[in-house]
Amino acid sequence: MAPSRCQPFDLNRQGLILGEGAGIMVLESEASVVKRNAQPHAEVGGDGLSCDAYHITRPHPEATGSIAAMRDAILHSGVRPDDVDFVNAHGTGTKANDAAEAKVMQEIFGGRKVPISSVKSMIGHCMGAASALEAVACMMTLERGVYPPTIGYETPDPECPVDVVANQAVRGKADIVLNNSLAFGGYNAVTLFARVGVLPPPAERAARAA
């Protein structure tokens, strides 16, 4: 636990800050959307789930489970890592978690700098509600073309060579975003969201994933 503030990916980060809240979304089939003539906020491309069961609070040092979850989310969506515009990081502000997540980013994206941010720097870690709240943040990123900031990012950490959106929101391309949720006990869940009409058709996605 941090004594005063959460600073994800910062060299001097001291831990997480607890938050409280809820995020609610309605998952609807394409047929239902068409029938209602509705305008969806985004499309769910795919997801990746894994559990490395390494430690109750610390991620696996090699981040193998997290890497698998992110890779599967991209694969099941029928896109490539180069297509991802932004990552809403799990970003708890702990030394081990942020370093492991940075390792995931390097493994998936190589040398490509993908903008990432942790909204936990602003709303805290809402535990069971965290992934839902952060999925809502992903919806807003897609709708508005604005990357949310990571507040309190002051000193880059050599162990976290990632492209942090520091302290102020910025406008940017937002067609495809990833939401990372890397939880206690080594449970990892990554979901890919996209603006409607951007992803390949379902049959093509399935063929690519196969």
> pLDDT tens for residues 75-113?
999 999 999 999 999 999 999 999 999 999 999 999 899
Q: Determine which of 4-13, 56-65, 129-138 has the lowest per-residue pLDDT on average.
A: 56-65
pLDDT at 61: 79
Average of per-residue pLDDT across 159-171: 97
User: What range defines the domain where residue 145 resides?
Assistant: 42-209
Question: Is 25 among the domain residues?
Answer: no
Classify each residue of 3-14 as buried b or exposed e, where b means 16 or more C-beta atoms within 10 Å of its C-beta.
eeebbbbbeebb
The CATH number covering residue 110 comes to 3.40.47.10
Question: Is 170 among the domain residues?
Answer: yes
Question: Is 26 among the domain residues?
Answer: no
Total domains in the fold of the chain:
1
Question: Is 24 among the domain residues?
Answer: no
Q: Is the pLDDT of residue 207 over 90?
A: no
Question: Is 2 among the domain residues?
Answer: no
Q: Is the pLDDT of residue 40 over 90?
A: yes
